[in-house]
Amino acid sequence: MTRKVLLAAATAATAAIAYCAAAGADSFTPVRLGITIAKVARRHQPLRVNVDVSADASVLDNATGALRIRVKLAQECGGTFSTTPGVTLLDRQLRPQPTTGHPYDASASGSGRPTSYGEQTVCAFLEESGDNRMFANDTSNEVNVSRKCTSAAATYDAARRRHARSKTLKADRSAARRACGPGVSL
């Protein structure tokens, strides 16, 4: 064979491999949890969380029970949802459930009320109902349950309740927004 033919064959093979790799599954993270949560939170006020679950085709085929997404806010995550202390933000059965041989996408939302101040970890677990077999977990997000945010937002809440003048109300809201940042409901 000539060098030109070998080069063309190698180029075609490389292109085919690259295409298959791009179109195929991500073998490093076959199940992915995308967590959306505010970085700062108020103590004793609702903290919303949304989790998007996606999985490559056939990865969840061996599930024998319904899949649940479970999220807690804790100082430190345990090995499973049940061994993790802290406030439950989400504990829901996913809908729809995975179907055999197909990629999977679902999402769930929930909220809980943080009970203590400080930096806390968002501990998310994708588990099977019944035996609690874990398919994925994520502990990469943190939330600061802030005294400053809680105090500033409480001042704003009190001004709203007593129908403060709009100038005072606006100043209190601005102070609370600076302390809490975006994503925290005021």
Q: Is residue 121 over pLDDT 80?
A: yes
In sequence order, the β-bridge partners of residue 110 are 49
pLDDT for residue 25: 47
> Where is 35: in which H helix or E strand?
strand 31-37
> Where is 68: in which H helix or E strand?
strand 67-74
Closest of 119, 58, 112, 51 to residue 87, by C-alpha: 112
To the nearest whole number, what is the mean pLDDT of the chain?
86
**Beta carbons of 155 and 173 less than 8 angstroms apart:** no
* Interval 155-159 mean pLDDT: 85
pLDDT for residue 135: 94
pLDDT for residue 81: 94
* Interval 49-72 mean pLDDT: 94
Q: How many domains does the chain have?
A: 2
Burial of 126 (0-12, 13-18, 19+ CB in 10 A): buried
Assigned domain for 6 exists:
no
40/114 same-domain check: yes
Per-residue pLDDT reduced to its tens digit, 62-75: 888 999 999 999 99
75/98 same-domain check: yes
Q: Is residue 48 over pLDDT 90?
A: yes
41/129 same-domain check: yes
More confident residue, 38 or 16: 38
93/169 same-domain check: no
d(CA 29, CA 152): 41
162/101 same-domain check: no
165 Cβ contact partners less than 8 Å away, ≥ 6 residues apart: none
109/53 same-domain check: yes
* Interval 16-39 mean pLDDT: 69
Q: What is the pTM of this model?
A: 0.78
112/175 same-domain check: no
pLDDT for residue 22: 40
pLDDT for residue 2: 64
114/141 same-domain check: yes
Domain with 123 in it: 31-145
70/135 same-domain check: yes
